[in-house]
Structure 1
Amino acid sequence: MDVITIGESMVVFTPTSDGFMRNATQFTNRIGGAESNVAVGLARLGHKSGWISKLGDDEFGKAILGFLKAENVDVTQVTFDQDAPTGIYFKEPRRQHNTRVYYYRKGSAASKLSPENLDKEYLAKAKYLHITGITPALSDSCKETIFEAIKLAKSEGTTIVFDPNLRTKLWGEEEARKTLLEIAAEADIILPGVAEGEFLFGESDPHKLGQLFLNHGASIVVLKIGAEGAFYFTGKESGLISGFPVKQVVDPIGAGDGFAAGFLSGLLDGIELKKAVERANAVGALVTMVNGDVDGLPERDEVEQLLSNNREDVIR
């Protein structure tokens, strides 16, 4: 197994009409969830990925499981909960770069995840364990699960990759900051955004943030700065890799997950760090061009085409 992820997937409803969602009468139905998005992204790029979670024993849960199976994501560690539902959320696209999100996930099956759901032998198979700051925000048992997964993975020499993925709607700022910093201290690779870095350290300068994350324990930091690209930092080098300009962003949600999948893909292929960040930028850009959290995740030939062509000519 190349990468294992842990987290919640939900069914996503989006109005088919413009305007306020209160007036909508028809919705599209898709799948979304940061960790499973990364797993799907990696699978489409030709890697072996697995996803650990719980789903409600309902039609939505069955739909998610079937979708991920079809995307070649290993779901052998997914269980069904007969007493808790699959989470859902609604996306309300208002204007370009402005999408409102409404979650209905409290008490969901995934929030019932516990350390007992972890199989040490399964985690030991992975080269990378990818976790986000969303899962520990879902419940105390989810938080315990993440820290236990980190402990088990590290005992097997698995590299820990952490995307803070801050969700202030899910928990209080003090608890969020404390927990995310604790996880960051255990991570080998961190993929934060500037806003998340500012939340954690009270600093917005990218170069200072990179050093702060390194001092906190990471060996590699990739700091996302949106459409402009991403900085990378190690103990020996740092730099900025420019992003791919997208003239019309259709749906920005999921771009960060695509970025993570692209970056991990680069590491798995053994390319140099700069090239891995460039691949991450390319995947993230491609994701924004399609509606849906996972729908825009590209296959390898699409990424290679973008990387080999003039950026301005390809991204329109």
Structure 2
Amino acid sequence: MDVVTIGETMVVFEAGSQGPLRYTHTFTKRHGGAESNVAIGIQRLGHSARWMSQVGEDELGQYLLQSIRGEGVDTNFVTTSPTAPTGLFIKEFRRPNEGSVHYYRAGSAASQMSGDLIGEELFRNAKVLHITGITPLISKSCDEVITKAIHLAKKLGLFVSFDPNLRFKIMEEYGEDRARDRMRELAGMSDLFLPGLDEAEWMYGTNDESEIAHRAFLDGAKRIVIKKGSTHSYYAEHDGKSGFVNSHSVDRVVDPIGAGDGFASGVIVGILEEMTLHDAVNLGAAVGALVVSSPGDIEGLPTRKEVDLFLNQTSKDVLR
């Protein structure tokens, strides 16, 4: 087992037509969760992943388990709750290129995960723990899950990857200042810190990438990769190495949701394969570019063969 991820995955009902939901009669059922997205991305790139969470003992929970397990992800550490439902959210498209998301996750099964679910067996034979900033903000018990997971993973010698993946709606109850402190604490405990530039600016009060890296290293982070959408990514290591990797262009952006999770899966695979951080970031950028070319969170996650073909074509285009 290469990578362990922990976090909530919800069922997604995506409106099949434009306009207010009151006039929408058909929906496409999908699932979305940053951590399970990364796990699926890892699998498609030729490595193994385990996803730990909790779902309701209901049909939607069975759908999530069946679908994610079908992608090859180990779901043996996902528990089911007989009293709490599986979370879900609905995507609404009022006008072209204008969407909104409605969450129904309060009191969900995943929000009731507890630290008792985390034990050494979860990390058996694993090399990387990947977490996001979503899970610790969902509930106090979920925050405890992440704290225990990180401490146990470090004790067992795992590499810790952290993507803040900020969700400001969740912060309303948690408290923005408290959330900022928690995100910086988690960044400082990570071996790989993967913020978007806007997230890093919110966390550190500056959009200067080298200064963000400097402050993250003071907090304790070992490596940082700052994503700046369709332009570039900046990377730095605590030993002083740093640089930029240009983003890969695509003919048409279909759905940007899930691109960051695809990026993370590519970078993590690069690190598992002992690439330089520059090459790992380039792999992540290629995965992210392919993800935005397809609808849905996971539908566009590419296989390793598809990524290699894309990178090979990209390099040929550069040489022309």
TM over 0.5: yes
The whole-number CA distance in structure 2 between the counterparts of 1:226 and 1:205 is: 15
Confirm or deny that 1:275 pairs with 2:279.
Answer: yes
The whole-number CA distance in structure 1 between the counterparts of 2:246 and 2:184 is: 27
Q: Indicate if the aligned counterparts of 2:114 and 2:144 stay in contact, CA closer than 8 A.
A: yes
The whole-number CA distance in structure 2 between the counterparts of 1:108 and 1:26 is: 24
Q: CA deviation at 1:125?
A: 2.4
Confirm or deny that 1:260 pairs with 2:276.
Answer: no
Q: Indicate if the aligned counterparts of 2:18 and 2:95 stay in contact, CA closer than 8 A.
A: no
For 1:168-227, what per-residue CA distance to the aligned partner results, in whole angstroms no more than 9, with x for missing partners? 100221121121111112111100011111111111112211222122211110000001
Task: Report the secondary structure of 1:250's partner residue.
Answer: coil
Q: Indicate if the aligned counterparts of 1:253 and 1:292 stay in contact, CA closer than 8 A.
A: yes
Q: CA deviation at 1:19?
A: 2.9
> Which sections of structure 2, spanning at least 5 residues, go unmatched?
none
Q: CA deviation at 1:95?
A: 5.8
Q: 1:95 to 1:283 in 2, by over 3 A?
A: farther
CA RMSD, 1 decimal:
1.6
Equivalent of residue 232 in structure 2, options 225, 229, 237: 229
Confirm or deny that 1:100 pairs with 2:104.
Answer: no
The whole-number CA distance in structure 1 between the counterparts of 2:96 and 2:243 is: 30
In structure 1, what is the equivalent of residue 220 of structure 2? 217
The whole-number CA distance in structure 2 between the counterparts of 1:209 and 1:97 is: 32
> Which sections of structure 1, spanning at least 5 residues, go unmatched?
none
Equivalent of residue 299 in structure 2, options 295, 301, 310: 295
The whole-number CA distance in structure 2 between the counterparts of 1:311 and 1:291 is: 26
Match runs of 1:1-316 below 5 Å: 1-94=1-94, 98-171=98-171, 172-234=175-237, 235-310=239-314
- Show structure 1 runs of 4+ deviating over 4 A: 94-98, 311-314
After TM superposition, the structure 1 stretch with the greater mean CA deviation from structure 2, 170-179 or 282-291, is 170-179
Q: CA deviation at 1:249?
A: 1.1
Task: Report the secondary structure of 2:91's partner residue.
Answer: strand
Q: 1:95 to 1:202 in 2, by over 3 A?
A: farther
TM-score of the superposed pair, with normalisation by structure 2: 0.94
Q: Indicate if the aligned counterparts of 1:287 and 1:297 stay in contact, CA closer than 8 A.
A: yes
Q: CA deviation at 1:121?
A: 2.6
Q: 1:95 to 1:128 in 2, by over 3 A?
A: farther
Q: 1:176 to 1:96 in 2, by over 3 A?
A: farther
For 1:215-253, what per-residue CA distance to the aligned partner results, in whole angstroms no more than 9, with x for missing partners? 221111000000112111012211110001123211111
Matched positions, count? 314
The whole-number CA distance in structure 2 between the counterparts of 1:50 and 1:110 is: 16
Q: 1:18 to 1:219 in 2, by over 3 A?
A: same
Q: 1:97 to 1:186 in 2, by over 3 A?
A: farther
After TM superposition, the structure 1 stretch with the greater mean CA deviation from structure 2, 75-84 or 16-25, is 16-25
Q: 1:312 to 1:251 in 2, by over 3 A?
A: farther
The letter of the residue matching 1:72 is G
Q: Indicate if the aligned counterparts of 1:211 and 1:233 stay in contact, CA closer than 8 A.
A: no
